Amino acid sequence: MIKDSKLAFDTLEVRSIASARGQPLDRITVRDYMKSVEIGAFQTERGIRQELRFNVVLEVARHDGAQTDDVDVVLSYDKITEAIEVELETERLNLLETLAERVAERILQHSMAVRVFVRIEKTERGPGSLGVEIVRVRDDERITDAGVLVRPVVVFLPNHVVEGDQLTEWLNMLEEIDAPTLLCVEPLLAVPFLGAAEPDQRLQLLGIEQTAWRLAARDARCVVVGTRTELDWAFKNRQMSVWAPSRIVMDAVDQPRGDDPIGLTLWFGQAFNAQCVWGCGNVKDDRLKLMQLPKVL
């Protein structure tokens, strides 16, 4: 562990060298990469953009790129900046710690990556810079698991199905699908508009979540999920889930409308690379494929 306080605040390159063990590794660096981003856990940080400064040092396995002058042999600087850009475009985040973890994990998916230092700072929150710094080492077992893409089947359940006598039959049929199933619902009652963008959006989404919990109360197989971590676990474990959309929608970069439940369902299907998006119970909307109960039921 590095105990020298001066070294703790030094550049990432210096920290990398000081903590090196064994055979020296090559280093790829990106310094002072600036991005204007909406990020922050406080309500006052929503709707505004803050300047973030990224510094990344990536240690990579030795290669003969310098001898062959072959660009395909080396790990490009672009892999670092692409990781930053992709994670910023995926969703709005509350914490720099989360952003740093995701950037590091994406960079370490490259086969040549060994260890990465990521420092992210907010440059406008005071007279100095406020930030986080992490060091992560490639874990081949974890990377292999992260590379497994699980594609769900997304199903829209209208209110007459959620409240109807055939709900159990519908869920029995959906349970037979050989894929994780994500159920999307609509508000049981119309949610009035107040004329204020964010409060209206949140109220529409909360109306949907009330139905999600109502569905969970009617059938224990329907587990309410609201975060990407919960969804990832549910998909990998083939769990039938009901989407509580507030967290993911409010943190989305391309935020969909909360007053269009079917549009929201389609947006989720696209965002999570669904195998297909179905509607149950004669939904009258051409945007959805319709799923029908077998006549024997």
- Indicate the pLDDT class of residue 1, thresholds 50, 70 and 90: very low
CATH topology of domain 153-291: Carbamate kinase (3.40.1160)
Contact 184, 243 (CB under 8 A): yes
Sequence spans of domains, the chain: 5-145, 153-291
> What pLDDT is stored for residue 164 in this prediction?
92
For the whole model, what pTM was predicted? 0.67
At residue 297, the pLDDT reads 36
For the stretch 207-262, pLDDT in tens is 999 999 999 999 999 999 998 889 988 998 888 999 999 999 998 888 898 899 99
CATH fold of 5-145 reads GTP Cyclohydrolase I, domain 2 (3.30.1130)
The pLDDT of residue 3 is above 90: no
Give, in order, the Cα–Cα distances in Å from 225 to each of 102, 187, 204, 216, 293: 21, 17, 17, 11, 25
pLDDT-derived band at 73 (thresholds 50, 70, 90) equals low
The answer to whether residues 291 and 265 touch, using CB atoms and an 8 Å cutoff, is: no
* Active site amino acids: 45, 122
Q: What is the dihedral of CA 213, 215, 218, 224, to 10 degrees?
A: -60
Q: Give the model's pLDDT for residue 2.
A: 46
Note the pLDDT tens digit of each residue in 119-153.
Answer: 999 998 778 788 999 999 987 655 544 444 678 99
Q: Which of 56-65, 112-121, 137-146, 193-202 has the highest mean pLDDT?
A: 112-121
